[in-house]
Amino acid sequence: MDFDPTILARIQFAFTVSFHIIFPSFTIGLAAYIATLEVLWVATGHERYHRIARFFTKIFAVSFAMGVVSGIVLSYQFGTNWSRFSHVVGNVVGPLIGYEVLTAFFLEATFLGIMLFGYRVPRGLHVFACVMVALGTTLSAFWILSANSWMQTPAGHEIIDGIAHPVDWLAVIFNPSFPYRLAHMVTACYLTTAFVVLAVGARYVYAGRYPEDGRTMMRMALGLIAILAPLQAFIGDAHGLNTLKHQPAKIAAVEGHWENEPGESGVPLVLFAIPNEEAERNDYQIAIPHLGSLILTHSWTDTIQGLKDFARDERPPVAIPFFAFRVMVGMGLLMIAIGWLGVWLLWRRRLFETDWFLAPLRHIWPIGFITILSGWFVTEVGRQPWVAYGILRTADAVSPVEGWAVATTLALFVVVYGIVFSGGIYYINRLIAKGPQGSAVEPPVGLPNRPLASAHKATRAAIDNPGE
Amino acid sequence: MFVGSGMEWYLPVIWSLLLAIAIAMYVVLDGFDLGMGILFPFAASEREKDQMMSSVAPFWDGNETWLVLGGGGLLVAFPLAYSIVMPALYLPVIFMLLALVFRGVAFEFRHVADTSRFLWNIAFAGGSTLAAFFQGVLLGGFVQGIKVENNAFAGGPLDWATPFALLCGFGVVAGYALIGSVWLVMKTEGAAATRSRARAKMLLPVVLVFMGIISLWTPLAFPRIAERWFTTPNLFYLAPVPLLTLALAYAVWRWLERGYENLPFFGVIGLFLLGYFGIGVSIFPYLVPPVLTVWETAAAPASQVFMLIGTVFLLPVILGYIAFVYWLFRGKVREGEGYH
């Protein structure tokens, strides 16, 4: 059988990166949530916050491990599968990834040890470790989104003999799409985590288990969602306008906009259609006139470039960005509705008795993951046929590795990740079923995490005092 | 070979040293926790397994990060080398990564699992062993050289699979098992410590034999390496390396005999660094042996400088807080306490 290495490499990368992004999306928000709970615990003295923090720390440990191991894979795939990409843009993208390792990975991975196993360290040090882990995950997002944004909207570089060289590092890091993408993604991570916390809380409240902890989870999650979900709509709109300016072909695909009909004023908003790339038109289209112009140009009649304005080999595939965008927006609107309805019920003091609302909320946890994956499908597929926009085509970026080798590893990735992912979901679900009560955790076997344990008993007493 | 001066000469040299340090940190730090994983099936009881795992639990995430720095550092400082070496060693790199995936999640899943715990024990031990083996294969595949045309890898997907590379794979498994066993001598007590000590004494000669075979094989098979070691004046400068190795190995043996708990671990780190230095001497200045040097594969000076500034400030901070965490969790893991 003949394998096309480029297609296989693309499937493999799409698979591994999609798998990976699920975990950081969750742990970025969860680290911030745990740090917040720890700070609240210290500030208010309520044991409840500590109990919830401990509970989510165990879930964090499992998720973080899956994020770490799947992330290491990616840092090598740039070389194994996309070696020409590494060679052509390595001068520019490399240091951004390098800074991610130095400022973020070591910080989070090292302080994680204290966060998970620092049972007897002074309370202040434990809170500090949680804050450092949260800081690490956020810095990691900063650098990797900077690198990704540079691939979308390259800036601050020059091309010498086909190789990108940095000219202005600030322009490279803060390239045109970066602030929008960073705000959009970090907000998305917080929303994703908030919905997981909301679902866990609803599960406990509905079942009448740990009702007090469940209510605290639901209150905190709904408050955040009610503010962040509508804010995210504005950030997303700004991000979209930024994309229209720098990557108009991507927006044309997202909108399913083939051409501006002569004599027609304004761009319609296509609610539903099946894009037909062969015939260069939409089938079964349902559209609202002028609304596209209103959203994209904030005017009634201005138009945007259609797909036909770009040569066929300059266009992204249409169907994936088109549908993924609609999934993302639909989920986003659902999030706003849930946030507002929930806060209203909370205000009317009816939330915890409203079973028709609680019952479905128990299963709402995947909504953030689905939305984030859809959003990335839009932006990554929409960047095609480029891997670094305008600099390097995806087809020219692939490694000189034979197809069968890529096919073999792809199959292995699918098997291994399938096992690992099922295991992860299963065990996280078990932790949730166990509940926060069992969280007065014993340290794992005899871990010497009680500083000065055997040698300096006097000091040990002093260390133990500020803790529990 | 590049003969020049100024920034374009010394930046790649600095970066190859930094990269060497990062990889050495990885080999030592992840070496002992992978080694613990290799020894995992030989634990006498589930309790002893718990004890072994607890000894590395707070550290392993941080240890593995050095691997990202190794790969990331190569991309940052020598993108051309990265873009040739990775496709050349495509299969062993991915096999190693998948083994690390299994092993990494087994760490956490094993904590949570009960009836399926034995499966994650297997995944943990198997993942650790295979990761170590393929790291050795990568080393061998790298040392033996890579086929390059027009600044790109020009060989086949199985070029790396030679007897030499496989030998290196087994050698690294033995080496990591050794450093894992002396780590357990230092960090555990009771029966686990006694058994680890006996294992270390068994593994030490095995590792020396591997080091000996590789030290003889490389100059015999690769003239460039023979030339590096066996011409004057290099011969005189380098002769102490094997002699020091033998002396240190003897010292480690004595320390194990006499019941020292910490010295064997640091002694084995010394053995690792001597072996590592030997390989470095054989390779330098090639980064894609035997064709491209550190100078020919270097990133643009602007990229190397930008990254160097951050590294100079951040690396001491990183080493500082890593040291703090090792200090915080110092002392021995005790047997038979409660498990959550």
* Digit-coded pLDDT (tens) for B172-197: 999 999 999 999 999 998 888 999 99
- How large is the angle between the packed helices A47-80 and A5-44, nearest 10 degrees? 160
- Nearest chain B residue to A169 by CA distance is B306
Residue B218: exposure state from Cβ atoms within 10 A (0-12, 13-18, ≥19): buried
Domain membership of residue A276 (yes or no) is no
Domain membership of residue A314 (yes or no) is no
Enter the pTM of the model.
0.88
B64 inside 8 A of chain A by CB: yes
Confidence of residue B336 (pLDDT cuts 50, 70, 90): low
* Cα distance between residue B51 and residue B43, in whole Å: 10
Domain assignment of residue A188, given as a range: 5-247+325-464
Domain membership of residue B98 (yes or no) is yes
pLDDT at A78 exceeding the cut of 60: yes
Phi, psi (deg, nearest 5) at residue B148: -125, 135
More confident call, A438 vs B53: B53
For residue A169, which of B295, B305, B15, B311 has the smallest C-alpha distance? B305
Under 8 Å between Cβ of B89 and A130: no
Confidence of residue A370 (pLDDT cuts 50, 70, 90): very high
Q: Cα A403 to the chain's mean position, in Å? A: 30
What mean pLDDT comes out for the span B313-320?
90
Q: What is the dihedral of CA A406, A408, A414, A417, to 10 degrees?
A: -90
Q: What is the pLDDT of residue A451?
A: 39
Query: Which residues in A lie closer than 8 A to residue B74 (C-beta atoms)?
Result: 79
ipTM over 0.90: no
Domain count, chain A: 1
Tens digit of each residue's pLDDT (9 = 90 or more) over B155-165:
888 988 999 99
B273 inside 8 A of chain A by CB: no
Using CB atoms and an 8 Å cut-off, which of residues 73-102 of chain A contact chain B?
A: 73, 75-76, 78-80, 83-84, 86-87, 90-92, 94-95, 97-102
Domain membership of residue A172 (yes or no) is yes
Positive or negative, the CA dihedral A58, A63, A66, A67 is negative
Beta bridge partners of A269: A288
For residue A213, which of A325, A82, A56, A355 has the smallest C-alpha distance? A56
Using CB atoms and an 8 Å cut-off, which of residues 348-407 of chain A contact chain B?
A: 399-402, 404-405
Beta bridge partners of A464: none
pLDDT at B134 exceeding the cut of 70: yes
Tens digit of each residue's pLDDT (9 = 90 or more) over A167-187:
999 999 999 999 999 999 999
Numbers of helices and strands, H then E, in chain B: 13, 4
Confidence of residue A403 (pLDDT cuts 50, 70, 90): confident
Does residue A385 have a cis bond before it (omega within 30 degrees)?
yes
A122 inside 8 A of chain B by CB: no
For residue B140, which of B175, B176, B167 has the smallest C-alpha distance? B167
Instruction: Flag if B100 and A69 touch (Cβ within 8 Å).
Output: yes
pLDDT at A119 exceeding the cut of 80: no
Domain membership of residue A38 (yes or no) is yes
Domain membership of residue B335 (yes or no) is no
Q: What is the 3-state secondary structure (H, E, C) of B207-239?
A: HHHHHHHHHHHHHHHCHHHHHHHHCCCHHHHHC
Domain membership of residue A404 (yes or no) is yes
* Cα distance between residue B116 and residue B69, in whole Å: 34
pLDDT, chain B, mean: 89
Of A73, A98, A420, the CB nearest to B307: A98
Domain membership of residue A278 (yes or no) is no
What mean pLDDT comes out for the span A453-463?
38
pLDDT at B340 exceeding the cut of 60: no
pLDDT at B4 exceeding the cut of 90: no
For residue B12, which of B62, B74, B59 has the smallest C-alpha distance? B74
Domain assignment of residue B134, given as a range: 7-328
Amino acid at B271: L
Helix (H, G, I), strand (E, B) or coil at B255: helix
Instruction: Flag if A102 and B306 touch (Cβ within 8 Å).
Output: no
Of B65, B111, B299, the CB nearest to A94: B299
What mean pLDDT comes out for the span B243-253?
95
Looking at A131-135, A306-310, B273-277, which range is the least confident one? A306-310
pLDDT at A250 exceeding the cut of 50: yes
**Percentage above 90 pLDDT, chain A:** 47
Using CB atoms and an 8 Å cut-off, which of residues 222-251 of chain A contact chain B?
A: none
Contacts of B108 (CB under 8 A, 6+ apart): A61, A62, A65, A66, A427
Sole residue written with tokens 């095609």: A384
Q: What is the pLDDT of residue A2?
A: 60
Domain count, chain B: 1
What mean pLDDT comes out for the span B75-93?
91
What mean pLDDT comes out for the span A29-36?
94
Chain A nearest CA to B282, separation (Å): 24
* Cα distance between residue A218 and residue A232, in whole Å: 20
Query: Which residues in B lie closer than 8 A to residue A121 (C-beta atoms)?
Result: 328
B105 inside 8 A of chain A by CB: yes
Domain membership of residue A315 (yes or no) is no
Domain membership of residue B337 (yes or no) is no
Using CB atoms and an 8 Å cut-off, which of residues 4-63 of chain B contact chain A?
A: 47, 50-51, 53-54, 57-59, 61-62
